[in-house]
Amino acid sequence: MNRKDLVISRRGLIGGLGTTSALMLTGCGESQPPTYGNILRMGDNLTYAMQRTLLSPAALVREYDRSEITSMPATGTYDPARTDLGNHDPQGGHDYAILRKGEFADWRLVVEGEVERPGSFSLADLGRMQRRTQITKHSCEEGWSAIAEWTGVPLRAVLEAAGMRPSARYVEFYTFDKIADSLDMIDALHPQTILAYGMNGRALPIGHGAPLRLRTERQIGYKSVKYLRRIVVTDKFNDLGNIKSGWAWYNGI
């Protein structure tokens, strides 16, 4: 997403706010991920355009005090090795069980796609990079929310280390279960978008996505993808599951 794209969507928005043509215009703008392919999701384009137009790309979400930390349930997949949980992937679950036995010493985060230096990072590599700790509220689409402290490396630092190309438009995240998702560059480069290896002052627990999870603080809970294994930088949008299963790809809060 560049400045020009934002201008296009702003025009689309102002040109016909509240009418079907606003949806059509914003839906067809070059800046839009193609969620308009699904009629039930057409409103997403308006949400996306609105938030992307009205919010500064750098606006930070609220951060809380340590005393405000709450308990947080581990939900969705809370152990990729368990075959009886939803989203289980047999190969991913098998790989995960082996890596966990070795306390993730052999785990690597692969980074590839539109980057000059494709490669991988160990947990030790990530731990030596820039570090950010933030206490934020997680809001799940099922209606609950929780406040926790997250520590990790800004996604931006990892993308810069890999040498992101100017053609980069989306960042895709692949995991040890069946979940995969992506962010646009505005969220990917946002200062509070981190790859977290710590939670509440300890190593990230298994249930919450060990050894590494994404924190996408300006979107709903399911965009904070757990159990990361691979990141792919792309120059085009791919539906990795949200749209075909009826969820919003962009779900800002």
Ligand X SMILES: Nc1nc2c(c(=O)[nH]1)N[C@H]1C(S)=C(S)[C@@H](COP(=O)(O)O)O[C@H]1N2
Cβ contacts of residue 14 below 8 Å, gap of 6+?
none
| Footprint (CB under 6 A) of ligand X, residues 199-218 | 208-209
> Distance between the two ends of the chain, CA-based, in angstroms?
19
Residue 194, interface with ligand X (CB under 6 A)? no
User: Which of 12, 29, 76, 154 touches ligand X by CB under 6 A?
Assistant: 76
Two tokens, residue 241: 């599951």
**Which H or E run includes 185?**
helix 185-188
Buried b (16+ CB within 10 A) or exposed e, 59-85: eeeeeeeeeebeebeebbbbbbbeeee
Closer by beta carbon to ligand X, 114 or else 172: 172
Q: Are 200 and 149 in contact (CB under 8 A)?
A: yes
Closer by beta carbon to Mo ion, 129 or else 206: 206
What gap in Å lies between CA 4 and CA 97, rounded to an integer? 46
| Footprint (CB under 6 A) of ligand X, residues 78-117 | 78, 87
Q: Map residues 135-164 to x or -, x wherever contact with Mo ion holds by CB under 5 A.
A: -----x------------------------
Return the residue nearest ligand X (CB atom): 76
Q: What's the CA angle centered on 244, arms 42 and 110, to 5 degrees?
A: 115
In angstroms, what is the minimal distance from the CB of 197 to ligand X? 13
Q: Are 37 and 243 in contact (CB under 8 A)?
A: yes
Give which of Mo ion, ligand X, none residue 87 binds (C-beta under 5 to 8 Å, depending on kind): ligand X
User: Which of 13, 72, 115, 158 touches ligand X by CB under 6 A?
Assistant: 72
Q: Are 107 and 80 in contact (CB under 8 A)?
A: no
10 Å Cβ neighbour count for 247?
A: 17
In angstroms, what is the minimal distance from the CB of 79 to ligand X? 10
User: Which of 6, 129, 140, 253 touches ligand X by CB under 6 A?
Assistant: 140
Of 39-47, 49-57, 68-76, 232-240, the window that binds ligand X (rule: CB under 6 A) is: 68-76
Contact residues toward Mo ion (CB under 5 A) are: 140, 221-222
Contact residues toward ligand X (CB under 6 A) are: 72-78, 87, 140, 175, 177, 179, 208-209, 221-222, 224-227
